[in-house]
Every structure is written in C-alpha cells, then in structure tokens.
Amino acid sequence: MLSSGSTGLPKASVWSSNDLYAFLVANWARAVKLTPDDIVVGFAPANAGSTGYVYPVLAPLLLGATSVLLELWAARPALELIAAEKATIGSAVPTQLAMMLNEPVEEYDLSKPSNFRTSAALLVGISQDMVNDPTVALRHALHDQTIVETQTLFVTTHHGGGVSNIPFVTQNANAAFMNATFWIEKVQGASGPFLQLQYVQTVLLDFLGLNWPHVSVATLVKTF
C-alpha cells in the first residue's frame, strides 16, 4: 500500500489481507462506530492509499455499509455530494477539508432542515435569536434575577500575550486569538445573596490558514 504523497513523497508499507481486515474491522470500524447503516463518502482518488481506498471503499464494503465516491475533486460538488447522499462518514486529506471550509455557506436558519444539524423539533431550549447572538442565552438567565453587584473582567490577546497550545493543536487547530468577558455577579436570592459567573469567549482557531470563530457562553452558579 502507498500513501497519497499529498504532503511529501509517497510512503509504501506491506499489509497482509489478514492484517488489513483485522485493522479495519476490529480497530478502525469500532473507533468510528461504523455500521451497515452508514454512508461513507470518499473525495481522494481511489489509488490514494488509505484516504482514497482503504477507509472510504474497502472498510464500508467489509462492514456492509455504503460507499460513495466523488468522480472529480472540487469543494462545492463534494459538499453537495455529502448533502445529497446524507453521508455520515467522510475520508479526505487536510487540504480538501480546508477547501470545503472556505466554501461560502448560507446563514444558519433553524427553520430550514439540514443534514448537518439536529432537527428544529429536537433543539429544546435553542432559539434562532441565540444562533444570531449567543449572548442572548446570558440575558435569558438574568430574566428573573435581581443583580445587586457586578464586577467585569475583560481578557484579550489583541494587545499582547498569546495562547499556549500543545504542539498537535498548534499545528492542526492553533488558537491564534482569544478574547473573553467575565461578569462576577452577586444575585439576590430567596434565601439570601449568591454568586454567579457569566462569560462570553471567542477563540479564533487556525485550520490551515482558515480562521474559524469558536464562541462559548455560560452561566455558572456558585454552590459551595
């Protein structure tokens, strides 16, 4: 078997049929929870070693799953193939993933069905205004509360400093920028005041040159 050589010279390795079967059925398939109900889509050419043949073709055939292949690579047809076939597992090289992430996508609309999102009927507690502005969830938490004191802390890497990551994260999803606002609040409760922490945090993750914003919001109540 040869690797595709997408990031360097192709590398060869020798596998027996038993080795390959044991690896795919007893190891890889269990790790990704591959079942006969899955639809596996492959984007790399079938001669591209593990990425183009072993994972998207041989593995689903051994497990009785469905294999779907893209005839000619292009990012937009790849995304359309995923949606059309309702693919559950995909096999691609990092460059292909980056190209698909760079494709323009429509604004999130919970009322429009999507194969890549939980159906609107099952999104309990998640509304369209939260998708448009995640801090709405923080304001909802304050709806029936009486805040008697607030301390605000703002942290950012914009004016210096940085984010420390392990080497793997730095290479594959480097956190290049971060800012966060924390509100330490004293809330008047029925049995006396208590403390809670609210925050909104935005981290820009660098996926092979693509900046992907990761937004987190939460309301945490001190119980001890």
pLDDT in tens, 52-71: 888 888 899 999 999 999 98
| pLDDT band at 28; cut points 50, 70, 90 | confident
41, exposed or middle or buried, with CB in 10 Å at 0-12, 13-18, 19+? buried
For residue 41, pLDDT over 90 is answered with yes
* 140 three-state secondary structure: helix
What average pLDDT does this structure show over 72-85?
87
* 41 three-state secondary structure: strand
pTM of the model: 0.51
* 90 three-state secondary structure: strand
pLDDT digits (tens, 9 = 90+) for 164-222: 777 777 777 788 788 999 999 999 988 899 999 999 998 888 876 677 788 899 999 98
- Residue recorded with tokens 């709405």: 136
For residue 7, pLDDT over 80 is answered with no
What's the one-letter identity of residue 82? I
pLDDT digits (tens, 9 = 90+) for 117-140: 677 777 788 888 888 888 999 999
Rounded Cα distance between 159 and 148, Å, is: 32
Rounded Cα distance between 191 and 205, Å, is: 43
For residue 162, pLDDT over 90 is answered with no
For residue 88, pLDDT over 80 is answered with yes
Supply the pLDDT for residue 84: 84
- CA contacts within 13 A on the Cβ side of 56: 24
* 70 three-state secondary structure: coil
CATH 3.40.50.980 positions along the chain are 17-101
For residue 107, pLDDT over 60 is answered with no
What average pLDDT does this structure show over 147-160?
89
Whose CA is closest to 123, among 109, 133, 136?
109
The CATH-assigned architecture of domain 17-101 is 3-Layer(aba) Sandwich (3.40)
Among 42-51, 86-95, 98-107, 110-119, top mean pLDDT goes to: 86-95
What average pLDDT does this structure show over 105-122?
68
Q: How many CB atoms lie within 10 A of CB 207?
A: 15
* 134 three-state secondary structure: coil
Name 22's bridge partners. none
Q: What percent of the chain has pLDDT over 90?
A: 27
For residue 91, pLDDT over 60 is answered with yes
